[in-house]
């Protein structure tokens, strides 16, 4: 499948100090970013000035468990601001950029998810997006009254149902339900209020939602699944995908796979943006970029590298193995992200890396694609993927912030614009406008409009 877009979609992905595990130690990073609201304001406004489509915040429901020495040396093991709270504050200090928050379907009630994201969409005037994730670690489970995480199949089944409930709750009110006629005294039209009354063995959610229908109809749905179940869920419900691929060949195979599955759900391939993660080290020359990359890599403590590797493989205990020996073969399978597991183990076998070497390689960008080079080299690399139909754009993951973000904006963005690959101005006001996505019709509408799912409609009727 060739690329079906004229221009790239770009998301700015922010961990507090940057995506690199040692980012906080870089002199051009904001070391206290995880508690520095002003820092977030500045980087959000930088991304908006450059006309990025959206700002993407990752999140988890637990502080990671690891070796205490590793914990004490890595900002990536601790938590920052709760993303919906942070994005609600940033919404009033930005005007156009989309605001993507991560929220788990495994532990967060569907009604709470629907209410929070509907509220953010109203506060931001139609710029909210929900990054739909499942929670696969026991550490998170223990924060919600369980001892162990659900297995992968159960998590995805629950996730699909929660997404469908949320979509149904967002349709609780017709767009024109709120009359607010002061003269007659009628505040809303009772015929335009809908009770979901969703009931299954897992979930019972009556509704209606106590927030009006979001300005976008539905906030944009974002996912990151790379397993077969994740790809299927994305084909059914996602409007943007944060994918983990490290080379153009596997990225294109994934792109064609997920877009090819959309037809059976009655969806247009243009209504899903595949945005692989890309951590960019760019400096005026290739030599300077290589030096900056080697410098930040040198800041990774080997124990931190091993702990990050362990967590990305699903919390496999690697302390029992020789750091300078190979990754065990066979390696125990886990309940965590299959995409990361497969990519990392393939890399280890292909390049015959030791645990120490693999830890340092993976820990920097936590398995995501890293490219280093001059501005033209970076632009060429991005265009190669885009022209090959391997992506619709990228999730740009600066290794340290604000320095690497500033470098990308100052050095690469002008080249992308000169080549006609990225916008010079926003085309509209909402995130759906930026992404070229239609506004979904309510399931209760008589119109034949775009809908992400129809399962709940059957339950509601």
Q: Please write the tens of the pLDDT for every residue from 63-107.
A: 666 665 655 566 555 568 999 999 999 999 999 999 999 999 999
What is the domain count for the chain?
1
For the segment 212-229, the average pLDDT, to the nearest whole number, is: 91
Given a cut of 60, whether residue 392 has pLDDT beyond it is yes
Q: Answer whether residue 284 shows pLDDT above 60.
A: yes
290 vs 446, which has greater pLDDT?
290
pLDDT band at residue 5 under the 50/70/90 scheme: confident
- Give the per-residue pLDDT at 66: 60
Residue 337 lies in a domain: no
In which element (H, E) is residue 70 found?
helix 68-73
Q: Do 249 and 255 form a contact (C-beta atoms < 8 A)?
A: no
* pTM (2 d.p.): 0.88
Residue 279, C-beta contacts closer than 8 angstroms, at least 6 positions apart: 19, 20, 364, 365, 368, 369, 370, 371, 397, 398, 399
pLDDT tens-place string over residues 365-381: 666 799 999 999 999 99
Range of weakest confidence among 17-26, 147-156, 309-318: 309-318
Q: Decide if 424 is inside a domain.
A: yes
**210 closest CA partner among 104, 108, 118:** 118
336's enclosing H/E stretch is: none
What is the C-alpha to C-alpha distance for residues 307 and 316, in angstroms, rounded to an integer? 9
Residue 347 forms beta bridges with which residues?
none
The verdict on residue 356 lying in a domain is no
In the chain, pLDDT over 90 holds for what percent of residues? 63
Q: Give the confidence band of 337 by pLDDT, cuts at 50, 70, 90.
A: low
The pLDDT assigned to 261 comes to 96
| More confident call, 144 vs 416 | 416
Average pLDDT over residues 128-134: 95
Dihedral angle computed from the Cα positions of residues 54, 271, 231 and 149, in that order, rounded to the nearest 10 degrees: 50
The two structure tokens encoding residue 213: 């229908």
pLDDT at 460 over 60: no
The tens digit of pLDDT for each residue in 246-265 reads: 899 999 999 999 999 999 99
Q: CB-based contacts of 61: which residues, under 8 Å, 6+ apart?
A: 104, 107, 135, 140, 143, 144
291 lies in some domain = no
CA–CA dist 216, 430 (Å, integer)? 7
DSSP string, 292-313: HHHHHHHT--HHHHHHHHHHHT
Q: Are 55 and 90 spatial neighbours (Cβ–Cβ below 8 Å)?
A: yes
pLDDT at residue 455 above 50? no
How many Å apart are CA 313 and CA 321, to the nearest integer?
15
Q: Is the pLDDT of residue 33 over 50?
A: yes
Confidence (pLDDT) at 65: 65
Q: Within a domain: residue 343?
A: no
Residue 458 has pLDDT above 50, yes or no: no
Q: At which residue do the structure tokens 């030791």 appear?
A: 354
| 72 within some domain | yes
pLDDT at 457: 32
459 has pLDDT over 50:
no
218 located within any domain: yes
Sequence-distant (≥ 6) Cβ neighbours of residue 412 within 8 angstroms: 280, 282, 375, 378, 379, 382
The two most distant CA atoms of the chain are separated, in Å, by 79
Q: Is residue 27 part of a domain?
A: yes
Note the pLDDT of residue 233. 83
Structural domain boundaries enclosing 378: 9-285+368-460
What is the C-alpha R_g of the chain? 22
Residue 426 has what DSSP assignment? -
pLDDT of residue 362: 79
Query: 130-149: b or e for each residue (b if 16 or more CB lie within 10 Å)?
Result: bbbbbbbbebbbeeeeeeeb
Domain at 214, CATH number: 3.20.20.30
Residue 363: its H or E element: helix 355-365
Alpha-carbon distance of 416 to 410, in angstroms, equals 11
Q: Residue 372: is it exposed, middle or buried by C-beta count within 10 angstroms (0-12/13-18/19+)?
A: buried
Distance CA 420, CA 379 (A): 12
Question: How many Cα neighbours within 13 Å face the side chain of 241?
Answer: 32
């Amino acid at each position: 499948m060739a690329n079906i877009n004229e221009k790239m979609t770009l998301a700015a992905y922010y961990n507090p100090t940057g995506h690199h595990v040692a980012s906080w130690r870089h002199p051009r990073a904001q070391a206290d970013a995880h508690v520095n609201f002003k820092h977030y304001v500045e980087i959000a406004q930088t991304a908006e000035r450059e006309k990025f489509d959206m700002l993407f915040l990752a999140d988890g429901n637990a502080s990671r468990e690891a070796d205490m020495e590793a914990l004490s040396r890595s900002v990536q093991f601790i938590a920052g601001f709760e993303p919906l709270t942070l994005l609600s504050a940033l919404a009033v200090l930005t005007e156009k950029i989309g605001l993507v928050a991560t929220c788990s379907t495994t532990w967060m009630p569907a009604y709470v998810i629907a209410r929070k994201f509907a509220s953010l969409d109203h506060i931001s005037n139609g710029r909210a997006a929900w990054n739909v994730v499942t929670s696969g670690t026991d550490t998170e489970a223990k924060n919600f009254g369980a001892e162990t995480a659900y297995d992968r199949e159960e998590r995805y089944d629950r996730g699909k149902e929660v997404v469908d409930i949320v979509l149904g709750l967002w349709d609780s009110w017709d767009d024109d339900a709120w009359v607010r006629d002061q003269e007659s005294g009628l505040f809303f039209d009772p015929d335009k209020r809908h009770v979901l009354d969703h009931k299954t063995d897992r979930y019972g959610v009556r509704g209606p939602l106590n927030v009006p229908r979001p300005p976008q109809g539905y906030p944009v749905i974002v996912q990151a699944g790379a397993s077969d179940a994740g790809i299927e869920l994305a084909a059914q419900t996602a409007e943007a995908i944060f994918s983990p691929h490290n080379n153009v060949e596997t990225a294109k195979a994934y792109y064609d796979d997920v877009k090819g599955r959309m037809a059976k759900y009655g969806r247009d391939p243009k209504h899903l943006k595949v945005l692989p993660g890309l951590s960019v080290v760019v400096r005026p020359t290739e030599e300077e970029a290589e030096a900056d990359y080697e410098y930040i890599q040198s800041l990774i403590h080997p124990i931190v590298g091993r702990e990050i590797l362990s967590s990305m493989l699903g919390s496999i205990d690697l302390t029992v193995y020789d750091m300078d020996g190979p990754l065990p073969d066979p390696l125990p399978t886990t309940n965590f992200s299959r995409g990361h597991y497969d990519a990392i183990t393939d890399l280890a076998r292909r390049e015959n890396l030791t645990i120490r070497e693999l830890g340092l390689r993976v820990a920097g960008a936590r398995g995501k694609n890293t490219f280093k080079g001059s501005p033209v080299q970076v632009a060429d690399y991005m265009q190669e993927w885009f022209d090959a139909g391997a992506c619709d754009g990228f999730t740009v993951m600066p290794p340290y912030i604000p320095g690497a973000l500033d470098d990308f904006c100052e050095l690469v963005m002008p080249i992308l614009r000169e080549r006609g690959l990225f916008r010079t101005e926003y085309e509209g006001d909402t995130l759906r406008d930026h992404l070229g996505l239609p506004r979904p019709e309510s399931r209760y509408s008589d119109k034949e409009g775009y809908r992400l799912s129809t399962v709940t409609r059957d339950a509601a009727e």
